[in-house]
Chain A
Amino acid sequence: MAQIILHPAMKPKREFFKPPAIEIPHPSGTGHIPIAVSSIVIEELAKAGRRVPLFQMWSHIVGEMPPINNAYHYPQIHYPDAVLNSIQHAHACYKGVKRPLNKEDDGGDVYVYIISTPQTVEWKSDMACNVALVDSPPNTVFTVHVRPASALQIEAAGLWGAATKWEFVDADAERPTLPDAYGTRYSETVWEREG
């Protein structure tokens, strides 16, 4: 049977604002769980015109380049050896953000996954492609907040929960693969695999 080979400049068949469900390491440290990215957060970022966090959602949560024209071809010409790590490569997980969150007083149901990624994605004004590969900010780690479906009151449909926040944060001075003050900023260490 003939194989269809897409031209590398073609846009991948994904809807930018509807990323697929993804499997991430279970908070228990064994096995995987299916999660979505919060559609509310996607909509809020879209309305605010924030393209960079949405590009980062694709690269560091879904684990794919953002589905826009030439994203699978053009940025790699300028940065052929770029490495984008995603939540699949998380090396630590914490629970509880120790701050009020909606009706909760301690954000105790939030799981925070920690990722080290040498490169990341940014928006740039370019007729050929609006995404570029760049080095991650120095001395930082990427964090993804995941909340269980029960806390978000979403229709689960087999999903364990949803990613509700993702961002680069300062790395700890003594253990640079972990967030600054990791020992006190979260309620509980769920697992650490290195660092």
Chain B
Amino acid sequence: MNNELAFEAWLSATYKPAAAYMQDSDCVEYVAEDTVCVYQRIDEALTLVYDETGFGLVGFKLKGFRNFFEHVKEDIGLTEGHFVELCRVLEQVCLKGGEEHIGDARRKNAYRAAEKIAKRDNVQIDYKIAA
């Protein structure tokens, strides 16, 4: 990005949504729009991301991702070379949450909303980044 022209191209390019792993905060984040976002904490694993109005759901964040992924990668049956479908990781978070999720409508609906976006946009992350 040192090249001035490359920087200007990056600055004015059309945003292409993709999941990103943030190493220092150990999160995977997906947002469908590069806009001012509002992050709504659901629980220790999931945050929903809304647009600047606070009403339009544009994405989600899976927190403690590497920590959690270590525990579930075999359950999902993943090996190197795969791309990890985030809707499957969300399902696993729900399963591990078990009873806690069943009785909590807000959490249940939040996970459902995140899964819906993950499926709709086929959100994936490279296994090598996740593992």
B15 neighbours in A (Cβ, 8 Å): 49, 51
Q: How many A-B residue pairs have CB under 8 A?
A: 113
A105 to chain B, nearest CB (A): 8
Q: Does B37 contact A (CB under 8 A)?
A: yes
B6 to chain A, nearest CB (A): 11
* CA gap between A64 and B67 in the complex, in Å: 35
* CA gap between A44 and B1 in the complex, in Å: 13
B1 neighbours in A (Cβ, 8 Å): 16-17, 46
Count of chain B residues near A, Cβ 8 A: 36
With contacts A49-B16, A130-B12 known, is A147 near B24, CB below 8 A? Answer: yes
Q: Does A45 contact B (CB under 8 A)?
A: yes
A23-59 residues at the B interface, CB under 8 angstroms:
38, 40-41, 44-52, 56
Per a CB cutoff under 8 Å, which of A45, A50, A180 touches B41?
A180
Chain B minimum-CB-distance residue to A68: B11
A51, A98, A100, A123: residue with the most chain B Cβ atoms closer than 10 Å: A100
* CA gap between A139 and B40 in the complex, in Å: 12
A98 neighbours in B (Cβ, 8 Å): 44
Which residues of B approach A to under 8 Å, CB–CB?
1, 7, 10-13, 15-16, 18, 20-27, 31, 34-41, 44-45, 52-54, 63-64, 66-68
**Pairs across A and B, CB under 8 Å, 11 listed:** A38-B24, A46-B10, A47-B20, A100-B26, A107-B64, A122-B36, A122-B52, A125-B12, A137-B52, A139-B54, A168-B36
